[in-house]
């Protein structure tokens, strides 16, 4: 499958590497190709490439938004709605706001970044997921408690969510995936960051995830 990843940070690179290893063709889109020279060399594969936001979105049959939250809408606008329309946009971004001393969200409670993206690109099939764990856990859920922890899916398109659920199981081995509703339920997983950041403070590491116990 051809996958376009918007972003050049840790999550984008980790997802890109894991998907290349799984045999997919991956193009990372960035404003700063120089940041990805080392990543591209590491892949040592014709299946890995780097381009602009627009190049990556045009390339992908599926597009992953792995930009930092405060730049997501701008990056996706640069990618171009014509390259997102009709496609699954797997949105893993978090609306972090570092402008105050304490970590807050730039949008919460009555709206979410997932909803903002879906409103701006109404013909894209936005599925919010993977935003509750570190990138290391995203691509290797079985490395944590044999995968006995949950991932959540939010999106308006039920078929797209089922498709994404299949990909996450196939690509990375995710076992427990819970569809929690339409894209407005992205508020729930984005707002979880307010708890995750404090658990990180308590545990001293980010190698954790949540299991819904019932």
Which residues contact a second copy (rule: CB under 8 A)?
100, 102, 104-105, 108-110, 144-145, 148-149, 152, 154, 178-181, 184-185, 187-189, 191-192, 194-199, 201-203, 205, 207-214
Q: How far is the CB of 188 from a second copy (least distance, A)?
A: 3
Q: How far is the CB of 91 from a second copy (least distance, A)?
A: 16
Q: Which class for 121: exposed (0-12), middle (13-18), buried (19 or more C-beta within 10 A)?
A: buried
Identify which of residues 51 and 181 has a Cβ nearer to a second copy in the complex: 181
Q: How far is the CB of 108 from a second copy (least distance, A)?
A: 4
Phi and psi dihedrals of 62, rounded to 5? -130, 140
Q: How far is the CB of 111 from a second copy (least distance, A)?
A: 10
User: CA dist 185 to 16, 108, 162, 177, Å?
Assistant: 26, 11, 16, 14
Q: Which class for 35: exposed (0-12), middle (13-18), buried (19 or more C-beta within 10 A)?
A: middle
Three-state secondary-structure class, residue 103? coil
Identify which of residues 47 and 97 has a Cβ nearer to a second copy in the complex: 97
Residue written as token pair 């290391």: 136
Identify which of residues 68 and 192 has a Cβ nearer to a second copy in the complex: 192
Identify which of residues 40 and 206 has a Cβ nearer to a second copy in the complex: 206
């Amino acid at each position: 499958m051809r996958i376009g990843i918007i972003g050049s940070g840790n999550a984008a690179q980790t997802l890109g590497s894991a998907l290349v290893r799984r045999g997919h063709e991956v193009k990372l889109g960035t404003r700063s190709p120089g940041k990805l020279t080392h990543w591209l060399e590491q892949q040592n594969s014709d299946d890995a490439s780097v381009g602009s936001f627009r190049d990556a979105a045009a390339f992908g049959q599926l597009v992953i938004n792995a930009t930092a939250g405060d730049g997501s809408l701008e990056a996706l606008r640069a990618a171009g709605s014509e390259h997102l329309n009709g496609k699954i946009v797997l949105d893993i971004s978090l609306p972090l706001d570092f402008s105050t001393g304490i970590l807050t969200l730039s949008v919460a409670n009555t709206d979410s970044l997932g909803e903002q993206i879906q409103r701006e690109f109404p013909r894209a099939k936005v599925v919010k997921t993977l935003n509750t764990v570190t990138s290391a856990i995203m691509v290797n859920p079985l490395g944590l408690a044999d995968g006995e922890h949950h991932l959540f899916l939010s999106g308006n398109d039920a078929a797209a969510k089922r498709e994404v659920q299949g990909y996450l199981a196939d690509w990375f081995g995710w076992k427990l995936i819970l569809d929690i509703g339409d894209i407005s339920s992205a508020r729930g997983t984005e707002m979880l960051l307010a708890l995750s950041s404090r658990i990180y403070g308590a545990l001293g590491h980010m190698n954790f995830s949540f299991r819904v116990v019932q």
